[in-house]
């Protein structure tokens, strides 16, 4: 089976599942990977759908800040 045939088969199966409503598509929270402005430590912040700037506190130094 070629890659193109596998893609077409996958698309067909997805289309059929959506038509039968056996698969539900949900949109959930977004995870933002950000860096602390004070110490430079990486932080992972959860944001609600549609939000771009989220308040968070650095896990390393405790500095309160906003994501960009």
**pLDDT tens-place string over residues 30-61:** 899 999 989 999 999 998 888 888 899 999 89
For residue 25, what are the domain limits? 3-66
Which pLDDT value is given to residue 7?
A: 94
Q: For the chain, what is the domain count?
A: 1
Residue 5 vs residue 50, higher pLDDT: 5
Q: Report the predicted TM-score, pTM, of the whole model to 2 decimal places.
A: 0.53
Chain position carrying tokens 């959860």: 46
Region 2-19 average pLDDT: 91
Reading the block at residue 15, the tokens are 């289309």
Q: Provide the residue count of the chain.
A: 68
Does the structure show a pLDDT above 80 at 23? no
Burial of residue 5 (CB within 10 Å: 0-12, 13-18, 19+) is exposed
Which pLDDT value is given to residue 27?
A: 78
């Amino acid at each position: 089976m070629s890659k193109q045939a596998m893609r077409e088969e996958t698309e067909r199966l997805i289309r059929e599942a959506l038509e039968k409503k056996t698969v539900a598509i949900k949109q959930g929270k977004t995870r933002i990977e950000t860096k602390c402005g004070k110490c430079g430590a990486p932080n992972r912040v959860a944001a609600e759908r549609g939000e771009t700037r989220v308040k968070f506190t650095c896990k390393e130094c405790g500095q309160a800040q906003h994501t960009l």
